[in-house]
Chain A
Amino acid sequence: MIRTDRIFGVVVILVALAFIASAYNLPPGNIFDKLGPKVFPIIVGVGMAISAAAMIMKPDAEPDWPQARSLLSLAFATVVMVGYAYALKPSGFLIPTAIVAGILSYQIDPKPVRAVLIGVSLSGGLYVIFKYALGLGLVALPRALMG
């Protein structure tokens, strides 16, 4: 049976090999810097590969992964947060924060009305705290609306 630890181990070994290959292309050391920029990364890459190999040889019991539906909602949460990262600058603080906080709240406890209330009040409350109590330079609304 293929286990998570084995798959993960193989991925890590591939990454480690790429890491080592990339380190090989760096220049060698000189008299003032005997090892140069390449030796320590190679040591780290080899260490990664060895520990990953040990995971492949002796994997732990399969982790308790959530069911497909839960995984889907976790993926959705990730997408929402990444969207937030891109939206924060162009659209200001209030609207994206209310939406994301509401969605996350609904995902933790699916009560739609309460989630909307939580989203809106968290967004407003945090804006007031950050802007006026802590003095951060947040922009409230999309730049287009602010003139």
Chain B
Amino acid sequence: MTPSKNEHEALREILRRAYREKQKVDVTKQWQEEVMHRIRDLGEVEGRTSFFAQFEQLVWRLVPVTCLLILGLTLLLSSVEFFSSYDLAQLLVNHTEEITLNQFFGL
């Protein structure tokens, strides 16, 4: 039997009241001292950044290097005669007697 909406609501209210009824916890001076003791044991927090923060910094530092690398490679590719894989395949198919795989790999 499916419980009715009223039944659900009544149960929810009962459980909410029970949940809210908690014994109060009062922290003591000793507890504060224990926390500060643990904190002091950890030492200074300065410079201890997360992995992602460090990674982000590294990425931004590498941006100019990456730009220069892209520019350099573009210039290199435009100056050197470039064969696409399609051209190479066509060459192999049409001139199999001259260009063998051995020749292609320079062996």
A and B form one complex: no
Partner-A contacts on B (CB < 8 A): none
